Amino acid sequence: MQMRELGDSGLTVSAMGLGCMGLNYHRGPAPERNEMIALVRAAVERGVTFFDTAEVYGPFTNEELVGEALEPFRKDVVIATKFGHDLDPASSQTSGGLDSRPERIRQAAEGSLKRLRVDAIDLLYQHRVDPNVPIEDVAGAVKDLIAQGKVRHFGLSEAGASTIRRAHAIQTVAAIQSEYSLWWRQPEADVLPVCEELGIGFVPFSPLGRGFLTGQIDESTSFGGNDNRAGLPRFTPEARKANRPVVDLLAEIGVRKRATPAQVALAWLLAQRPWIVPIPGTTKLGRLDENIAATSVALTPDELRHIDASVARITITGDRYLQAEAARTQR
């Protein structure tokens, strides 16, 4: 497994991480728990060292699963989790709102430490920027947790460039996590440049377009309960049909490279910057192996130019989020 450093943070992880949300949350009926623990451990055996979860996934149950799965490998892995939602630890209920008050951050960190079975959280992200709490207060609260040895690195998820700068001035930001793929390239406008300037790593979630870029989803695909894609504008049958040319392009390149569309999509991301580390999620061992193998797919400069030029001619249909959730991003 190739390794990459997230910016100038000193945090070195496998070039391909594992997004753990879908193991039991938001991606259809949850598979059997022990099977998912085995999948996470199989990832470790294959060289994956970077695992991503959040307290809101479940809530709380995803962290518990990840904590149990990785406990035997604690010294060999990096675990990232997130705070920022209004959650009641006693009832596991949420208002659906955001809460990044310093006291809530401290409470969230204590809960995550216990559920993850760790003495320190390797990378703690603010999940969404809270407009009611100055980012300086958020960064200061995490800075205190770092000083106490409870957190090692600070990150932000779906934050805008100005917010990143303000946070970084208080506490070094190790990584920015945002959606980024061939069908969602907004981070290229200002987030990737500020990451490059400040020496911050970048972690794309949904690097396979929530599964669409694998080529296994078309307009006839149905989504079961607990699968949030059913309500996303980009996943209406009409949008899936209209966006198929992106998959066709990946398949075309894949034929030449003896790679799957998913591997080409991940290889494209890896080629963008040496400090980018995608975190595709999966519940299947075969898909895990397929994603890891993408680190061995090397796209030439001509192939990268061809991909960029071809995608530029494709109009992507459908927003990635409903309006209320979209308003929470790039603040």
Q: So which residues are the catalytic ones?
A: 57
DSSP at 139: H
DSSP at 194: H
Other C-beta atoms within 10 Å of 238: how many?
11
CA atoms of 202 and 77, how far apart (whole Å): 18
Q: CA dist 206 to 52, 140, 151, 274, Å? A: 12, 29, 25, 19
The owner of tokens 């377009």 is 209
Residues 6+ apart with CB under 8 A from 230: 223
**Helix (H, G, I), strand (E, B), or coil: what is residue 195?**
helix
Residues 6+ apart with CB under 8 A from 150: 109, 110, 113, 120, 121
Residue 44 is inside which H or E element, if any? helix 33-45
Residues 6+ apart with CB under 8 A from 62: 20, 21, 23, 24, 25, 53, 54
CA atoms of 26 and 38, how far apart (whole Å): 20
Residues 6+ apart with CB under 8 A from 246: 182, 183, 209, 212, 213, 311, 314, 316
